[in-house]
Chains A and B, each alone.
Chain A
Amino acid sequence: MIDLTPEARKRFDEYLYRMRASLRGSRSIEPQEVEQNVVEHVQAALEGVPSPVGQERLSEVLMQLGPPEGWLPDEERPAWRKVMDRVMTGPDDWRIAYASFALTLLMIVTLPIGGILLVLPAFFLSRAYVEMLAQRGESLGARRWLVLPPIALLMLLACVAALIGATAPVAAIGLNEGGLRAVGFRGDTEFERVRIEIGFVAMAAGVWWIVLSGVFAMLWRPFRFTFLPLTQGLRRGHAFVLTIAGIVVGGIGSVLLFVV
């Protein structure tokens, strides 16, 4: 038995605990056998060292042995541990990807208490990561599953907010404060009222989308850059799609409001 100081004993016990935890469940390795070998190793390595052996000297031997978390063969390590190992020991660029993914998961878990705000740091991490890889000439590969979700989510939120945009306050004024009635749109029946209201909202949305398509035609480059690589294929010409959609929806709204 090695004579260790209390601190060194504590350190050694922790090391053995980590080792047992790391090898637990292995089909081909017997943790007791490995532990016995490790204890013998430490005893042999500290032979001749004046006892009680202190933490510093013990740590040197344990450092040489290395972290036991990596002792299990790859094929036997559970998937969650591989992920954790990647985060703890992988190259910095992988850590950024995992940090971004972790923030996205945390955002989902904490949604009821305002977790949605976490989409912003997750987004910035992901975008910085995408730019870093682009500068190195590397592709995202499988890492896209880690970094693209926050970019996609923020883009979706931005698109929804932009599409609703001015339509919401205009609709609120027209529908809730009797604005439509004041300018002569009075439905005598329930069907008439619904027709007028839908027509008004559709026309407001159509007009807003036409305006928005003009704004997009001017600012498409910053928008494209912000949400890269998802917007890689975006061109100024796509503003025309929004213009067409605005004309169609606005036209339907006008027909409902003025013709029917």
Chain B
Amino acid sequence: MQMSDTFYDNWTTQLRKGLLELAILNTLGAGPLYGYDIVRRLGDVDSLVINEGTVYPILSRLRNEQYVESYIEESSSGPPRKYYRLTPRGREELRRMNTHWTRLHEAIGSLKKERGRT
């Protein structure tokens, strides 16, 4: 593996780890979902989730920190499922995180534009 590949791989891994919490909270922003559904939706975002299992410890942590809460609901196609939804605290945190992400995204965008001009 080339050195630049290693650097790129490390960078994308770190980025992915950092963004996964934001992505999970945004997924739940639309309404309650159960674990497998969250994973499926995140899986639709290209290269965001490499190992699907990493989503579950994050869900547990978010619940412990009271950003999400869980409840059990009967399922028509199998055993009862554990659903997750945002708490008011989680909704507020998601708003802050999205604002920060937008600012960051815009700042990087303007840096790219500047580079394009030079």
The interface-forming segment of A3-11, A35-43, A117-125, A142-150 is A35-43
* In the complex, per-residue mask of A36-68: 1 if CB is within 8 Å of any chain B CB, else 0: 111011011101000000000000000011111
Given the known interface contacts A29-B61, A47-B78, the answer about A34 and B56 at a Cβ–Cβ threshold of 8 Å is yes
Tell me the count of chain A residues lying within 8 A, CB to CB, of chain B: 31
| In the assembled complex, B1 has its CB within 8 A of some CB on chain A | yes
Q: Which residue of B lies closest to A34 (CB)?
A: B56
* In the complex, per-residue mask of A1-19: 1 if CB is within 8 Å of any chain B CB, else 0: 1000000000000000001
Please tell me which one of the listed residues A30, A44, A138 contacts residue B64 in the complex, with CB atoms under 8 A apart: A30
Instruction: Tell me if A66 and B51 are in contact (CB < 8 A).
Output: yes
Please tell me which one of the listed residues A28, A41, A67 contacts residue B56 in the complex, with CB atoms under 8 A apart: A41
CB proximity of A255 to chain B, nearest CB, Å: 60
| In the assembled complex, B57 has its CB within 8 A of some CB on chain A | yes
The interface-forming segment of A69-77, A99-107, A165-173, A174-182 is A69-77
State A65–B40 Cα separation when bound (angstroms): 12
State A41–B56 Cα separation when bound (angstroms): 10
* In the complex, per-residue mask of B65-100: 1 if CB is within 8 Å of any chain A CB, else 0: 100001000000111011000000000000000000
Instruction: Tell me if A34 and B82 are in contact (CB < 8 A).
Output: no
Chain A residues whose C-beta falls within 8 Å of the C-beta of B42 in the assembled complex: none
| In the assembled complex, A33 has its CB within 8 A of some CB on chain B | yes
State A17–B34 Cα separation when bound (angstroms): 23
State A71–B52 Cα separation when bound (angstroms): 10
Instruction: Tell me if A71 and B57 are in contact (CB < 8 A).
Output: yes
Instruction: Give residues in A with beta carbon < 8 Å to B.
Output: 1, 19, 23, 26, 28-30, 33-34, 36-38, 40-41, 43-45, 47, 64-68, 70-73, 91-92, 136, 138
Top 4 A-B residue pairs of the complex, sorted by shortest distance between their CB atoms: A66-B51, A65-B53, A44-B36, A37-B35
Instruction: Give residues in B with beta carbon < 8 Å to A.
Output: 1, 3, 6, 34-36, 39, 50-54, 56-57, 59-61, 63-65, 70, 77-79, 81-82
Contacts A66-B50, A68-B53, A73-B61 known; 11 new A-B pairs at CB < 8 A: A29-B64, A30-B64, A33-B63, A34-B59, A38-B56, A41-B52, A43-B79, A64-B52, A72-B57, A73-B57, A91-B6
Q: List 17 A-B contacts (CB under 8 A).
A: A29-B61, A29-B64, A30-B60, A33-B56, A33-B59, A33-B60, A37-B35, A37-B56, A37-B60, A40-B79, A40-B82, A41-B39, A41-B52, A47-B78, A71-B54, A91-B1, A91-B6
